[in-house]
Structure 1
Amino acid sequence: MSADEFGTEPVATYDLTHPLDAGTPTYPGDPPVELDPHATVEADGYRVTDLRLGSHAGTHVDAPSHTEPNGASLAAFDPADFVFDARLVDCGPCDSREAIGPEAVPESTDAELLLFRTGWAAHWGEARYWDHPYLGPAAAERCADLGVAVGLDAASPDPTPVGHGELSVEDVDTADEPDGVPAHRALLGRGLLVVENLTGLDRVPERFELRAYPLGIDADGSPVRAVAVTAE
């Protein structure tokens, strides 16, 4: 935690970002994160790192074009669109592949983003991470109806296909799980951003400002440095 000045009020900042390194878990089928020396002080007099990663690596934001054929890409958004008045929704502790129901979503809110804390960041780097909780379709639709962006401390607001985590197809009744990516479609289909793979949500209050700036690329998503800003 560090303190700076936000307006005239002293504030505290909390980093909610998983580090990006060669061990960063990536969504099944996505490219791995690779960091290799391109130039070294010994050979070249300076350092340059060859960085390779997918647009949805680590803690990242999804643009509508991630799932929507005519959805906007990141270039359509102003930097201010990635600063949110956030409200924490505490859903934890959740079970593996548990659907978060619409009852978890407030009936109304003046927040710009609902941030679902499931406790699943504790499993980052484990096979279990891919058996994460997710937003049930009705919960996602309620968020979309409220006109709020969504963030969560898990890999996706939709279930990751079974078999990539600890659980096998024999362990899970997939008849109860939605097909495709209905939560993404509900939110991104209305131009609402989604922030995934957050961490450290046990340290933040119910209301705070979330700053999640993407790289300056015109793409379907981007890694972000997600920072919570709160009154000290």
Structure 2
Amino acid sequence: MKVIDLSMSLYTDMDVFLGDPQVKIELVHSYEKDTWELRNLNMGSHTGTHVDAYSHMHKGKASLDEISIERFFGHAQVVELSEALPSEIGLFFIEEVGAEHLEKIMDSNPGFVGGNITEDLERMLLDREIITYTGLINLELIPRGKTFMFYGLPLKIKSGDGSPVRAIAIIED
């Protein structure tokens, strides 16, 4: 079994989408002063590697705390649009994929979609209640077309539109 971390590290002043809150992580308690460490985290809900709830782009759609936890993990593949897409598993794209490919993606009935997807495609997928993941790294380490287990669990934020995740791929030998 091989585990691949697909998550960015979070740190103060990291790059964020234009208009999103800047990331600030500050040490509040230290071992030297308090005998423990504790940090204050300030960031947007779509910082770094993150998942998008349907409500992110569609008023009245389900938020993170309303979506079943089972929707945030499952079998997946890193795929290319030039090939046939597998059915009923998560799809991750390394090359940029836009709204013009929605029909092909929807024909495969994916559990979730992520990687290098455009904002227009993300909006369309969320409207169809397909969870999206962005900010994933290391997808190129996963063999194309090999099915793996993906986990990208969000914090259970009440009325949450998105959440940073610790995303991993587990590849069986």
SS at match of 2:4: strand
In the alignment, structure 1 segments of 5+ residues that lack a partner are: 1-10, 91-103, 119-132, 159-180
Superposed CA deviations along residues 85-136 of structure 1, whole A, max 9, x for unmatched, are: 112114xxxxxxxxxxxxx165552242110013xxxxxxxxxxxxxx4x22
Superposed CA deviations along residues 186-216 of structure 1, whole A, max 9, x for unmatched, are: 1000110000011111211222111111112
In the alignment, structure 2 segments of 5+ residues that lack a partner are: none
- Residue identity (%): 31
The number of equivalent residue pairs is 169
- Give the AA of the match of 1:146: S
- Give the AA of the match of 1:142: K
Change in 2 beyond 3 A, CA 1:144/1:105: farther
Distance in 1 separating the partners of 2:56 and 2:135: 16
Contact 1:144 1:186 in 2 (8 A): no
| Equivalent position of 2:130 in the other structure | 192
Is residue 222 from structure 1 mapped to residue 163 from structure 2 by the alignment? Answer: yes
Is residue 113 from structure 1 mapped to residue 90 from structure 2 by the alignment? Answer: yes
Give me the TM-score of the superposition, normalised by structure 2.
0.88
Distance in 1 separating the partners of 2:86 and 2:104: 11
Distance in 2 separating the partners of 1:32 and 1:185: 23
SS at match of 1:57: coil
- Give the AA of the match of 1:57: T
The one of 140, 144, 150 equivalent to 2:113 is: 150
The residue correspondences of 1:130-209 to structure 2 (distance < 5 A) are 133=96, 135-148=97-110, 149-152=112-115, 154=116, 157-158=117-118, 181-205=119-143, 206=145, 207-209=147-149
Give me the TM-score of the superposition, normalised by structure 1.
0.67
Distance in 2 separating the partners of 1:23 and 1:105: 37
TM-aligned CA deviation for residue 182 of structure 1: 2.7
Contact 1:215 1:224 in 2 (8 A): yes
SS at match of 1:43: helix
Change in 2 beyond 3 A, CA 1:62/1:106: farther
Change in 2 beyond 3 A, CA 1:31/1:105: farther
CA RMSD of aligned residues (A): 1.8
Larger radius of gyration: 1
Distance in 1 separating the partners of 2:6 and 2:43: 20
Distance in 2 separating the partners of 1:13 and 1:108: 23
| Stretch of structure 1 that moved more, 48-57 or 32-41 | 32-41
| Equivalent position of 1:66 in the other structure | 56
